[in-house]
Each structure stands twice: as C-alpha cells, then as structure tokens.
Amino acid sequence: MQDISAGIQAIKRQLGDRLCIMGHHYQNDAVVQHCDITGDSLELARRVPQVNADHIVFCGVYFMGESAALLAKPGQAVYLPSMDADCLMSRMTPAPLARKVLEQLYALGRKVIPLAYVNTDLALKAVVGEYGGAVCTSANAGIMLQWAMKQGDGVLFLPDMHLGNNTATALGIAPHERHVLRIGSRGLVEPEAQALDRKLLLWPGCCAIHARFDPDDVREMRAAHPGCRVIAHPECREDVIAVCDGAGSTSYLIKDAARVAAEALGSTLIVGTENNLVHRLAARHAGQCRIIPLGHAICGNMAKVTEKKLWTILEAITAQKATPLAIEEELCPPARLSLTRMLEVCGQ
C-alpha cells in the first residue's frame, strides 16, 4: 500500500489548499491517515461551510456526501470515492412515503413536526424542511427533540426508532407518550388502531449494524471483564442502552475513551459501535486502558471506501475527469433549510 499512500500524498501536495479530504470516524485507518478533517456527522456538517477548497473529497457514505454538497459554497465540488457506499438506514424512509404519513397525520388534525436523523436522503430532508422540521445527529438529538416539541403538538422522529427512543428516555419522555408507527407501502396501516395522538411518533427504522447488539452481549462482557465500563452508540436498542454505563454519539464515545484512559489506568472499557472506531481507540490508548468492541459491528458500506478508491478519485480530479456528486436543484432549498435549522439551533 506504500505506492498508493505515496501517490495520495503527492496529489495532496500538488493540489494544496484546493483540496480538502474529509472523513467519518468509521473509515478505516488507511483512509483516515489522509483526511484533513475527521469527525462524526455533526462535526463534519459544521465544518463544510468553513472549507474553502475547490475540491472536497468526502470519505463516508452517500448521505454524508449529499449533506456536504448541500452545505458547500457555489463552485465547490464534492466527490465520493465510492458512489455505492450507501447507509442502508438512510433508505428506510422514502420521501413520498414520509410525505404520505405526514399528510395522514395532518388530516387527523395533528401538527406533527418531522425531526430527521441526518442519516436520510436529500428528498426526505426536503420534505422535512417543507413541514417546518429539522435534521439532527446523534450528538444533538436531545436538543433538537426539545426544539421540535416546541414547534408543533408532536414530533415524528425518523428513521431510527432506537435513537428516537433513547433520546426520549434521556429527556424523560415516558414510554406511554411514544408510539412506533406501523407503516405499509401506502402509508399508515390501520390508522384507527394506532396511538397517533402520542407526543412522539417514531418511524420503524433502525441501523442493522448497531441494532444487532443484545443486552446479553453486555452481560457476557461484564462477566468476562469484572469491573469494566460499557458504553454504546444510541443507535443501539433501548434494552441495550439500559444496561450500559453510558451512551452517546461517536464524539461522546471518543471523549469517554480518552477520559477513561486518563483517569482509570489499567481498566477495561467495552464500546458498542462500529469496530473501525473501536480498534482505533484501542490502539490510541494502548498501555493506558484496554478497549474492546462489544461485538462484531462493521458497516460494510463505510468499508467500501478504500485507500485505493481514494487515490483513484484524486487522480481523476487532477486529470479533470472526476464526476462531482450531483444533487437535484429543486430539492436544495427545503433540504438546506432542514440542515441550517439544526446548525442554527445548535449554535453552528
């Protein structure tokens, strides 16, 4: 991989300030070593408007590149090294279906504000913007849910029901105030038999990578590593988070690992999230504390971005043959609204 790495470095030197490589924490180390900016979804979205480079290469999944393209300045081009790296959860809320469900809820006299996890596509973000809603990430879901509650008489959280439920629990919204919608291909299934008057309505989507963890995984880890601390990403199921010692976004997990490494020398930390991040944390804090994944969790789509593909897109950029990510013009104003509302509410 020496040649590829050297090739990437040479192109970075050649393009200088005209190039910015951004990458999500779930990317593998071979890619992360070349990134100018790494972060979780929120940090990356916040950084895009500050980037002045002509070319932004985004190492992550499709919706992240789309959000970057939406927040980029006119004339800036955003490229994805792997166009087929797609977050499967982001496809669980097709925009026409979400619109249909919102129409059905409004027809019942409800003013439900949609709050969409950033892991959604552009068309869905546009529907959310149109209905007065906003985007959130796992790092600000609590702040954004409180904001959305004040904008209408209820919130439709989509697409991740686990993040929605975990956020609601953290805010003290009781289970009897929530309802996971039953949705079919034409909208709500048997609306009359559903508790549609609840304060928090949840779209029945989830991340298959995080939802696979089970409370027994936590119990087994505690038995194998007495005294260990267990933390996990809030895309995990509520019954898993209930038996953890802490939960939060990717940036929370990174900060907590650094804290444990500094304050609890020799201890064991179990982390329930994508394994690329966990292995990186384990290497970073080796000798201070032991960091172990809660279980096998590799996002196959994040893994589609490789160092070789990064090199290929950079070569195409220098040869002026790269195709930037194209986003549908008419979807941009409402979709941008849903993203900028988040950045405004969270103080940029």
Q: Is 121 in the site for ligand 13P (CB under 6 A)?
A: no
299 binds ligand SF4 (CB under 6 A): yes
Closest contact distance (angstroms) between CB of 139 and ligand 13P is 6
| 167 counts as binding ligand 13P under rule CB under 6 A | no
Restricting to residues 219-248, which ones interact with ligand 13P according to CB under 6 A? 235
Nearer to ligand SF4, 160 or 256 (CB): 160
Q: Which of 2, 4, 1 is nearest to 311 (CA)?
A: 4
Instruction: Check binding of 250 to ligand 13P (CB under 6 A).
Output: yes
Q: Does 89 bind ligand SF4 (CB under 6 A)?
A: yes
Q: Which stretch binds ligand SF4 (CB under 6 A): 151-159, 284-292, 298-306, 329-337?
A: 298-306
Answer with the entry of ligand 13P, ligand SF4, none that 88 interacts with (C-beta below 5 to 8 A by kind).
ligand SF4
The answer to whether the CB of 158 falls within 8 A of the CB of 166 is no
Write down the number of H helices and E strands in the chain: 15, 15
The bridge status of strand 19-24 relative to strand 77-79 is unpaired
Cβ neighbours for 240, distance < 8 A, ≥ 6 positions apart: 213, 214, 215, 217, 218, 232, 272
Site stretch for ligand 13P (CB under 6 A), options 10-18, 45-53, 134-142, 218-226 = 134-142
CA-wise closest residue to 291 among 273, 310, 306: 273
What is the Cα–Cα distance from 91 to 196, expressed in whole angstroms? 24
Min separation Cβ 149 and ligand 13P, Å: 21
Residue 90 contacts ligand 13P per CB under 6 A: no
- Which residues, 199 to 258, sit near ligand SF4 by CB under 6 A? 207, 209, 235
Q: Which two tokens stand for residue 168?
A: 């609601």
DSSP string, 235-247: TS-HHHHTTSSEE
CA distances from 157 to 82, 165, 196, 199, 266 (A): 29, 9, 13, 11, 40
Q: Considering the rule CB under 6 A, would residue 301 count as an interface residue with ligand SF4? A: yes
- Residues at the interface with ligand SF4 (CB under 6 A): 61, 87-89, 119, 207, 209, 235, 274, 299, 301-302
